[in-house]
Amino acid sequence: MIFSTYFDPELSQRFTEDMVIRNLTAKTQIGYVRALNRLCEYLKHSPENATRDNLREFQLFLVEDGATGTTINSTLSGLRFLYNVTLDKPQLLTKLITVSVARKLPIILSLEEIKLFLTTAAHPKYHAAFSVAYGAGLRVSEVVSWA
């Protein structure tokens, strides 16, 4: 993982070790490093020297820059890890607040659409399988892994 030039090499080593100790997935580790790099580029100095107001301004910058709620929240998770675990400075996070993210509602088929779907089944075996899957409320991924 490549850290920002503003990030102290000893701190990056300790941060990486903390992530390994907690058995974070590679994807999570990459996300956390990306968040810290973005903070470093915004601050133009090491996050060790950041203040509460610096972090609040960074969150405001993310919002004004057009970052999605999911991006902001994942960035805040990386910052929380750094300041709570690696730097042991949880007091700096008091002004950071997660953003609410709208949940995407599932598409619900009408009764007519379900009937049409079931009539297109090429074989009675598929018709029965689709009927059971629909009746049980299974997701497509669950049906695929079941088949």
The DSSP 8-state label assigned to residue 49 in this structure reads G
Q: Per-residue pLDDT tens for 92-141?
A: 998 888 988 888 888 888 889 988 988 888 888 888 888 888 888 888 88
Domain 9-93: CATH architecture, name and number where available: Orthogonal Bundle (1.10)
What are the tens digits of pLDDT across the range 24-43? 999 999 999 999 999 999 99
Domain ranges of the chain: 9-93, 111-146
Report which DSSP code applies to 28.
Answer: H
| Per-state percent for the chain, helix, strand, coil, to nearest 5 | 65, 0, 35
DSSP notation for 65-112: TT--HHHHHHHHHHHHIIIIIIS--GGGGTT--PPP-PPPPPP---HH
